[in-house]
Amino acid sequence: MDKSKNQSNKLKILKYMFMPLPFVLGTIGYLQYYDLHWALLKSAQLYTFNVDYIEGDLTIYAAAWLAMIATISMILLVLQYINAFLSTYFKTLSKNSCAVYGNSIYAEHLAKKLKSKSILSEKIISGAKKHVLLFNSDEENLEFYQNNIDKFANKPVFIKLNKAMPYMLKGDNVNVFNTAEITSRLFWRKYPIYQNERVAIIGFEELGQEILSSGVLMNIFSPRQRIEYNIWGNYSHFKGLHAMLDNIITNKFIFHDKDWQEVLFKSGYFNRLILCNAQSQNIIDLSIILSLYGDLQKPGQIFIYADDDSMLKELDVKTFGSTNEIYTVENILNDQYNKKAKDEYIQENHETSWESLNSFDKRLLISQTELKDNWEYHKELIMNGTAKDDNYLIHLKHILKYTFHWWYNRLIKTKYQELEDGSYKIEYNNGDIYEGELEINGNYENSTLCGQGKMFFFDGDIYNGKWKSDLRHGLGKMEYANGFIYEGEFDANYRDGHGKMIFPNKAEYDGEWDLDKWNEQGKYTSVDGAVYDVISKKGVIQPIITDVEATHVSKVEWIDDFPHVYLEEGLMGELEDN
């Protein structure tokens, strides 16, 4: 797409250079016979086919022919513009019209799938009934959304965000989708796990993480089912976000530090190997696997992510994640499980409305609806004809509920107590204790932490500050059990905004934060009082030194979301005294 766009831009430049060329040539030719005023006038008349030929003057002849071509081209361009305008206008009159915005191959692909309903554009189409944002990057999608937020009012908007947080967008009309999430959910619908299995996931960026996440939440077909997931890749941040994995008893998670080739060859048989890196790297990894085993039995069924699977069809592997499979109308625009979960919730006549539920509870209900559909679809194959009553499905939903809470670090409230000052005390199933304000949504079970409150975490961390929708949000102070202290702004549990971090040895960083990392500018004060102006971008610092002569920061390493600062003289911060 980028290549074709560059070619299109070059053609536009050539076109704009060509249009004035007849005028320039005509002026040069006519100046030999007329003064400047008449030369300019006669050159302009060339575009109207009113030519004053001078016998034998090839310059004027060439200008006349080029002017004719230019005029016809301009007429065609105007007609093309009118046709495009009218086509767009009449498409927007349809109740199913959909504007697809973007400069990616995915935008073109989805527009073709929508057929006559679609309007492919990089500029806002106000009259469209639905809008899909499919630019190449999250930044482009967010910028386009923010610039046109008023025009999107009360219309369904579908926006692709692979890394940015959905909470950055507000409004009931906004639907966020993630390519990796769609890919992983389609994978497990097509290749579910019914019994006990050992799974190897090679590559643990966005796709690998979603493959694991969807696998845990979708492969629930039996109370006795046990699945072992072996993970290779960059998993440190992921483990920090999912700190309660050990509580999910239906699954075992093994995060490997050693090279996957070594472990794979020594660990025996895996039921399936899922290659989740970019396609080019997956092909390299596949060739390594095939060369390691040769004619021996392969270590398991191999699944490989490939946007284009044409070169892999002859091999004994299963591919997933093609553009044709992912970017369909059903996957992007039709959120069937959301609608089903909402309808079922309304039919059950709950005291609280669907709209008043927080996003976590909605996601849980949607997952339970999907579990029910998966069970209905696969139960004959799983049970081999053995009948199971409704209580069996209820049991599976119960397993999903607890798995869902543990997976998203969302604890289950087990005890409520209203205190004398009107605040509340809540005890959780893992030992956490909260004291503070609540937002009561019909009953205690649907309540959310909202306002001022203090949380005593089971691992020794203590947070005292503002909450919103069960998340640390606003000004607060976090005292970590490892000795770090952060005081400042939080956004959806992240250290985000302005804040100060005090290291265990009393060194300090005071400045801007972005998603738990230093960002923009701040001050780092070492133990001996030396002050450093830190210019950083998401934790990568390029310091400008003030008030000191020789020492400079050479490295900042983030370990489990805590900074370790190295100076030329040695390590400063948490590990300085070690």
Predicted pLDDT at 274:
95
Three-class DSSP category at 441: strand
Across 300-311, average pLDDT: 84
User: Quick one: pLDDT band at residue 2, thresholds 50, 70, 90?
Assistant: very low
Per-residue pLDDT tens digits for 201-218 = 999 998 999 999 999 999
Domain 181-331 fold: Rossmann fold (3.40.50)
User: Quick one: pLDDT band at residue 409, thresholds 50, 70, 90?
Assistant: confident
Per-residue pLDDT tens digits for 524-560 = 887 877 777 766 554 444 444 444 444 455 566 666 6
Give this prediction's pTM.
0.61
Q: Give the number of other Cβ atoms within 10 Å of residue 558's Cβ.
A: 16
CA-based nearest residue to 471, from 411, 418, 538, 427: 411
Is the pLDDT score of 258 beyond 60? yes
Predicted pLDDT at 384:
55
CA-based nearest residue to 105, from 135, 128, 125: 135
Is the pLDDT score of 299 beyond 80? no
Pairing of strands 540-541, 544-545: unpaired
Across 44-60, average pLDDT: 86
Three-class DSSP category at 144: helix
Predicted pLDDT at 578:
30
Question: Which pairs count as long-range contacts for 308-315, CB under 8 Å and 24+ apart, including other chains?
Answer: 308/279, 311/283, 312/283, 315/286
Predicted pLDDT at 466:
94
How much of the chain, in percent, has pLDDT values that exceed 70? 81
- Taking 3-state DSSP, the helix, strand and coil percentages for the chain, each rounded to the nearest 5, stand at 40, 30, 35
Is the pLDDT score of 32 beyond 70? yes
Per-residue pLDDT tens digits for 263-284 = 776 766 788 999 999 999 999 9
Round to whole Å and give the CA distance between 103 and 552: 43
Round to whole Å and give the CA distance between 158 and 147: 15
Task: Give phi and psi for 150, each to the nearest 5.
Answer: -65, -35
CB 52 within 8 A of CB 89: no
Predicted pLDDT at 576:
38
User: Quick one: pLDDT band at residue 291, thresholds 50, 70, 90?
Assistant: confident
* Domain range list for the chain: 2-92, 98-177, 181-331, 335-407, 482-578
Task: Give the residue with greater pLDDT, 263 vs 71.
Answer: 71
User: Quick one: pLDDT band at residue 561, thresholds 50, 70, 90?
Assistant: low
Across 133-151, average pLDDT: 88
**Per-chain mean pLDDT for the chain:** 80
Distances, alpha carbon 499 to alpha carbons 240, 288, 503, 556, 566, in Å: 20, 47, 13, 18, 21
